Amino acid sequence: MPKLEDEAVQHTTALGPLIGLTREDIFGAVAVLLRETASNPARLMRHGQDMGSEMIKILSGKSDLAPNPKDKRFTDPAWRYNPFMRAGAQYYLAVQKGMAAWLDELELDELERDRARFISTIVIDSLAPTNTLAGNPTAQKRLIDSGGLSLIKGLKNAYQDIVHNKGMVSQVDKRPFKLGENIATSQGAVVLRTEMMELIHYGPTTESVHAIPQLTIPPQINKMYINDLSPEKSVVKYQLDNGIQTFVISWKNPVKDQGHWDMADYVRSCREAIDAVAEITRSKSVNISAGCSGGQTAAVLASQMASDKDVRLGALTLMVCVLHPKQNDIEAGSLISANGLALARKRADKAGIVKGDDLARGFAWLRPNDLIWNYVINNYLLGEDPPAFDVLFWNADATNLSASLMGDFLTLFETLAFTKRGEVEMAGHQIDLSKVKSDLFILGGVTDHITPWKATYRSTQLFGSKDVTYLLSQSGHMQAILNPPGNPKAKYFVRKGSKKLPPTADEWITGAEEVAGSWWPFWMEWLQKRSGNLVPAPVATGNEQYSPLDPAPGRYVMEPC
Per-residue pLDDT of the chain (561 residues; tens, 9 = 90+): 346 555 555 555 543 444 555 555 666 666 766 666 666 677 767 777 877 888 888 888 888 899 988 888 999 999 999 999 999 999 999 988 888 887 777 777 676 777 777 778 888 888 899 999 999 999 999 999 999 999 999 999 999 999 888 888 998 999 999 999 999 999 999 999 999 999 999 999 999 999 999 999 999 988 999 999 999 999 999 999 999 999 999 999 999 999 999 999 999 999 999 999 999 999 999 999 999 899 999 999 999 999 999 999 999 999 999 999 886 666 655 566 666 667 677 777 777 888 877 777 777 777 778 888 999 999 999 999 999 989 889 988 888 999 999 889 989 988 999 999 999 999 999 999 999 999 999 999 988 878 889 999 999 999 999 999 999 998 877 778 888 998 888 999 999 876 689 999 999 999 999 999 999 999 999 999 999 999 999 999 999 999 999 999 999 999 876
State how far the alpha carbon of 173 is from the alpha carbons of 5, 7, 74, 398, 417, in Å: 11, 16, 26, 15, 40
* SS3 call for 180: coil
Amino acid at 394: W
Q: What dihedral do alpha carbons 429, 433, 439, 442 form, nearest 10°?
A: 120
Q: Are 240 and 162 in contact (CB under 8 A)?
A: no
Q: Tell me, what's the pLDDT at 1?
A: 38
Residue 12 CB contacts under 8 Å (≥ 6 apart), including other chains: 391, 392, 395, 477, 478
Contact criterion met (CB below 8 Å) for 142 and 382: yes
Do 335 and 115 contact (CB within 8 A), yes or no? yes
Asked if 292 is an active-site residue, the reply is: yes
Q: Report domain extents, the chain.
A: 3-144, 146-327+355-497+523-561
In a 10 Å sphere around its CB, with 0-12 CB exposed, 13-18 middle and 19+ buried, how is residue 338 labelled? exposed
Of 487, 481, 418, 408, nearest to 450 by C-alpha is 481
CA angle 454, 460, 465 (to 5 degrees): 175
- Indicate the class that CATH gives domain 146-327+355-497+523-561: alpha beta
pLDDT at residue 211 in the model: 98
Q: Which of 270, 292, 321, 561 is catalytic?
A: 292
Tell me the residue ranges of DSSP E strands in 320-474: 353-354, 401-402, 425-426, 429-430, 440-445, 468-473
**pLDDT (0 to 100) of residue 18:** 47
C-alpha to C-alpha distance for 463 and 466, rounded to whole angstroms: 9
Buried b / exposed e along 83-122 (16+ C-beta atoms within 10 A): eebbbbbbbbbbbbebbeebbeebebeebbbbbbbbbbbb
